[in-house]
Chains A and B, each alone.
Chain A
Amino acid sequence: MTGSILDTFFEECEELLEAMDAGLAAIEEGDQDPETVNAVFRAVHSIKGGAGAFGLDDLVAFAHNFETVFDDVRSNKLELDEKLIQLLFRASDHLSDLVTCARDGGEVDQAHHDVLISALGEYIDDEEEELVFEPMGVGAAFDPTPLAPLAEVQEARYDIRFHPLKEMFDTGNEPYFLFQALSDLGALSVRLDDSELPGFEAMEDGESYLSWELTLVTSESRSAIEAVFEFVEGLCELSISSEGEDEDDADALAALNAAFGLAPAEEESAVALPLEKPTPEANETPAPAPASVEAPVEAEAAADMEPDAEHERAAEKTAEAKKETAKSSGPKPTLRVELDRVDRLINAVGELIINHSMLAQQIANLDVTDTRDVETELEGFKNLARDIQEGVMAIRAQPVKPLFQRMARIVREASAATGKTAKLITIGETTEVDKTVIERLADPLTHILRNAVDHGIEKPEVRVAAGKGKIGEIRLTAAHRSGSVCIEVKDDGAGLNRKKIRQIAIDKGLIPENAELNDGEIDNLLFLPGFSTATEISNLSGRGVGMDVVKNAVGALGGRVNISSTPGEGSVFSIILPLTLAVMDGMVVSVAGHTMVVPITAIVETMRGNDDMINNLGADGTLLSIRGSFVPICDVASSLGLRSSSHSEPAGVYLLVETENGDRCALAVDDIHDQRQVVIKSLDGVCGNVPGVSAATILGDGKIAMILDPESIVTASSSAAVFDTERRMNNAIAS
Chain B
Amino acid sequence: MKTKVLAIDDSRTIRNLLAACLEEAGFEYHSAVDGREGVDIYPDIAPDVVITDINMPNLDGFGVIEELRGEDINSKVPILVLTTESSADLKARARSAGATGWITKPFDDDSLIFALKRVTGAVA
Q: Nearest Cβ distance between residue A309 and chain B, in whole angstroms?
A: 6
Give the residue of B55, B58, B99 whose beta carbon is less than 8 angstroms from that of A326: B58
Give the residue of A9, A228, A269, A302 whose beta carbon is less than 8 angstroms from that of B96: A302
Q: With a CB–CB cut-off of 8 A, which chain B residues contact A319?
A: 59-60, 63
Q: Nearest Cβ distance between residue B35 and chain A, in whole angstroms?
A: 10
Q: Does B47 contact A (CB under 8 A)?
A: no
> If the complex has contacts A228-B118, A323-B58, are A49 and B11 also in contact, measured as CB distance less than 8 A?
yes
Residue ID in chain A nearest B116 by CB atoms:
A177
Give the residue of B20, B55, B115, B119 whose beta carbon is less than 8 angstroms from that of A45: B55
**Which of A137-145, A506-514, A711-719 is the contact stretch?**
A137-145
Q: Nearest Cβ distance between residue A169 and chain B, in whole angstroms?
A: 8
Give the residue of B13, B36, B100 whose beta carbon is less than 8 angstroms from that of A172: B100
Q: What total count of A-B pairs have CB within 8 Å? A: 175
Taking each of B10, B85, B95, B115, which has the highest tally of chain A beta carbons within 10 Å of its own beta carbon? B95
Give the residue of A38, A174, A260 whose beta carbon is less than 8 angstroms from that of B121: A174
> If the complex has contacts A39-B57, A172-B100, A273-B88, are A50 and B121 also in contact, measured as CB distance less than 8 A?
no
Contact present for A316 and B14 (CB under 8 Å): no
Q: Does A52 contact B (CB under 8 A)?
A: yes
Residue ID in chain B nearest A4 by CB atoms:
B16
Residue ID in chain A nearest B53 by CB atoms:
A49
Contact present for B11 and A135 (CB under 8 Å): no
A230 to B100, CA, bound (A): 10
Contact present for B107 and A138 (CB under 8 Å): yes
Q: With a CB–CB cut-off of 8 A, which chain B residues contact A173?
A: 78, 100-101, 119
Give the residue of B86, B97, B105, B118 whose beta carbon is less than 8 angstroms from that of A49: B105
A142 to B118, CA, bound (A): 12
Q: With a CB–CB cut-off of 8 A, which chain A residues contact B57?
A: 38-39, 42
Q: With a CB–CB cut-off of 8 A, which chain A residues contact B79?
A: 172
Q: Nearest Cβ distance between residue A276 and chain B, in whole angstroms?
A: 17
Contact present for B14 and A49 (CB under 8 Å): yes
Give the residue of A52, A131, A174 whose beta carbon is less than 8 angstroms from that of B78: A174
- Chain B stretch 73-104: residues in CB contact (< 8 A) with chain A: 76-79, 84-88, 91-93, 95-104
Q: Nearest Cβ distance between residue B47 and chain A, in whole angstroms?
A: 12
Give the residue of A5, A180, A261 whose beta carbon is less than 8 angstroms from that of B87: A261
The digit string for A5-25, where 1 denotes a CB below 8 A from any CB of B, is 100110110000000000000
- Chain A stretch 314-353: residues in CB contact (< 8 A) with chain B: 316, 319-320, 323, 326-327
Contact present for B85 and A53 (CB under 8 Å): no
A99 to B3, CA, bound (A): 36
Give the residue of B20, B76, B111 whose beta carbon is less than 8 angstroms from that of A5: B20
Q: Does B66 contact A (CB under 8 A)?
A: yes
Contact present for B13 and A12 (CB under 8 Å): yes
Q: With a CB–CB cut-off of 8 A, which chain B residues contact A323?
A: 36, 58-59
Q: With a CB–CB cut-off of 8 A, which chain A residues contact B87?
A: 131, 261
Give the residue of B63, B88, B118 whose beta carbon is less than 8 angstroms from that of A316: B63
Contact present for A172 and B77 (CB under 8 Å): yes
Contact present for A53 and B105 (CB under 8 Å): yes
Residue ID in chain A nearest B90 by CB atoms:
A261
Q: Nearest Cβ distance between residue B41 and chain A, in whole angstroms?
A: 14
Contact present for B115 and A138 (CB under 8 Å): yes
A558 to B96, CA, bound (A): 63
Residue ID in chain A nearest B97 by CB atoms:
A309
Q: Does A62 contact B (CB under 8 A)?
A: no
Q: With a CB–CB cut-off of 8 A, which chain A residues contact B102?
A: 138, 231
Contact present for B118 and A143 (CB under 8 Å): no
Count of chain B residues with a beta carbon within 8 Å of a chain A beta carbon? 56
Q: Nearest Cβ distance between residue A507 and chain B, in whole angstroms?
A: 55
Q: With a CB–CB cut-off of 8 A, which chain B residues contact A11?
A: 12
Contact present for B91 and A138 (CB under 8 Å): no
> If the complex has contacts A8-B16, A12-B13, are A177 and B97 also in contact, measured as CB distance less than 8 A?
no
A45 to B114, CA, bound (A): 25
> If the complex has contacts A172-B119, A231-B101, are A1 and B36 also in contact, measured as CB distance less than 8 A?
no
Q: Nearest Cβ distance between residue A129 and chain B, in whole angstroms?
A: 13
Contact present for A270 and B119 (CB under 8 Å): no
Q: Does A33 contact B (CB under 8 A)?
A: no
Q: Does A305 contact B (CB under 8 A)?
A: yes
The digit string for B59-74, where 1 denotes a CB below 8 A from any CB of A, is 1101100100100000
Give the residue of B16, B17, B53, B104 whose beta carbon is less than 8 angstroms from that of A138: B104
Give the residue of B11, B99, B118, B120 whose beta carbon is less than 8 angstroms from that of A50: B11
Contact present for B107 and A137 (CB under 8 Å): yes
Contact present for B11 and A46 (CB under 8 Å): yes
> If the complex has contacts A12-B13, A173-B101, are A309 and B106 also in contact, measured as CB distance less than 8 A?
no
Give the residue of A39, A139, A178 whose beta carbon is less than 8 angstroms from that of B118: A178
> If the complex has contacts A231-B119, A316-B62, are A53 and B14 also in contact, measured as CB distance less than 8 A?
yes
> If the complex has contacts A45-B55, A171-B99, are A316 and B13 also in contact, measured as CB distance less than 8 A?
no
Q: Does B117 contact A (CB under 8 A)?
A: yes
- Chain A stretch 244-279: residues in CB contact (< 8 A) with chain B: 260-262, 269-270, 273
Taking each of A5, A173, A231, which has the highest tally of chain B beta carbons within 10 Å of its own beta carbon? A231
> If the complex has contacts A50-B11, A172-B119, A261-B87, are A138 and B92 also in contact, measured as CB distance less than 8 A?
no
A312 to B101, CA, bound (A): 19
Q: Does B44 contact A (CB under 8 A)?
A: no
> If the complex has contacts A144-B114, A174-B121, are A135 and B106 also in contact, measured as CB distance less than 8 A?
yes
> If the complex has contacts A1-B20, A138-B111, A305-B92, are A52 and B100 also in contact, measured as CB distance less than 8 A?
no
What are 10 of the A-B contact pairs (CB < 8 Å)?
A: A5-B13, A42-B55, A52-B106, A137-B107, A180-B121, A227-B114, A230-B101, A261-B87, A261-B104, A326-B58
Q: A136-B104, A172-B77, A308-B93 are in contact. List 19 more A-B contacts (CB 8 A).
A: A42-B56, A45-B55, A49-B13, A49-B105, A49-B106, A54-B106, A131-B85, A133-B85, A137-B108, A138-B111, A171-B98, A172-B119, A176-B121, A177-B117, A231-B119, A260-B88, A261-B85, A261-B104, A319-B63
B interface residues (Cβ-Cβ under 8 A, vs A) = 10-14, 16-17, 20, 36, 53, 55-60, 62-63, 66, 69, 76-79, 84-88, 91-93, 95-108, 110-112, 114-115, 117-121
